[in-house]
Amino acid sequence: MVERILADRVREPSRTIGRGQASVNIALCKYWGKRNRELNLPFNSSLSVTLPGMDVETELLPGSGDRDEIELCGPGGTLPDDAADRVSGFLDLFRPRPDFRFRVRTRSSVPPAAGLASSAAAFASLVRALDDLFQWRLGPRELSILARLGSGSACRSMYRGVVIWHAGVRNDGMDSFAEPLNIGWEALRIGVVMISASRKGVGSRPGMDHTVETSPLFACWPETAERDLAAILGALEARDLERLGVAAECNALCMHATMIAARPPLVYWTAQTVTAMRTVWELRRAGCPVYFTIDAGPNLKLLYAAGETAAVRRAFGEIRECAPLAANE
């Protein structure tokens, strides 16, 4: 696949340093489960919004020595060995020679592995840095396919705003790419309720494989997700918060239901996660339209309109808030 995308482009670095930047994305319709593990091909299409300000910046240089040097600056400290191995494994796809080493310097404004999709932003920014270092000048679709090889959801971090990742049907994965949708929504807010910034126990990669292999509920997930995606897209186009919130919350809970039914069960929630969910439902009962989505971690991401910020802060404290679609309107 990499050969096909790079075709006759140069394989030696064209400059001394390559730079890339990308922001995290939050899926409103989730990707969970791979039909092909090596190529990160999903069973279902998914849809996300990119969160500006929650960024990963990567600098990439030719390295020396007998291994890649991978350095992480920013909150969360150093990269765990398994994450560094994953980056090195991904870089294997692009080495001009087997003994060629890279030096990767990554600065992140979000803690890694806390269910905030920081790995998506990391791989998307790494692919941009590769493109810059080698001066391939690939188009966004090709870049999104390369990012997908690092981490599935990374293909969506290649763009701002609302982004759809088409699952595709081909075995070679060339039709499984992300694409931006031009949807603006000035008033939409996403607030991150940080319940824990510590590393999660089971990464999304083994977590989804385990769910696919053992959960009796997984069989109905791909079809459910495709239906949810249509509902979420319609709600975004209509700027209908209630429809969007209900569909996104339901989609996230369905994804977690497949994991909870896995054997042994896979539960990313803590007691505080459930308490925060109940707070959201109580707020709604009290007339405050706020909804949540949740990834493979304990933290909630709230969806609400700008006018509800004060009520949300009263209930959840100083949450990190952003207006992901304001620039698109």
Cβ neighbours, 10 Å, residue 201: 12
Bridge partner residues of 108 (DSSP): 56
Minimum distance, C-beta of residue 5 to ligand PMV, in the bound complex (Å): 19
Instruction: Please state whether beta strands 34-36 and 18-29 pair in parallel, antiparallel, or not at all (unpaired).
Output: unpaired
Amino acid in the structure at residue 68 = D
One symbol per residue from 50 to 89: x for binding ligand PMV (CB under 6 A), - otherwise; what is it?
----------------------------------------
47/130 with CB nearer ligand PMV: 47
Nearer to ligand PMV, 143 or 288 (CB): 143
Nearer to ligand PMV, 144 or 315 (CB): 144
Q: Does 176 bind ligand PMV (CB under 6 A)?
A: no
Q: Is 291 in the site for ligand PMV (CB under 6 A)?
A: no
Contact characters 105-124, ligand PMV, x per CB under 6 A: ------------x-xx----
Q: In residues, how long is the chain?
A: 329
- Rounded CA-CA distance 164/178 in Å is 6
CA distance readout (Å), 182 to 24, 31, 160, 249: 18, 21, 10, 23
Shortest distance (Å) from residue 62 CB to ligand PMV: 28
Residue 263 DSSP one-character state: S
* Contact flag: residue 279 with ligand PMV (CB under 6 A): no
Show the site string, 22-41: x = touches ligand PMV by CB under 6 A, - = not: -----x--xxx---------
Give me the half-sphere count of Cα atoms (radius 13 Å) on the Cβ side of residue 115. Answer: 27
CB hemisphere CA count around 148 (13 angstroms): 36
Site residues, ligand PMV (CB under 6 A): 27, 30-32, 46, 117, 119-120, 151-153, 204-205, 295-296
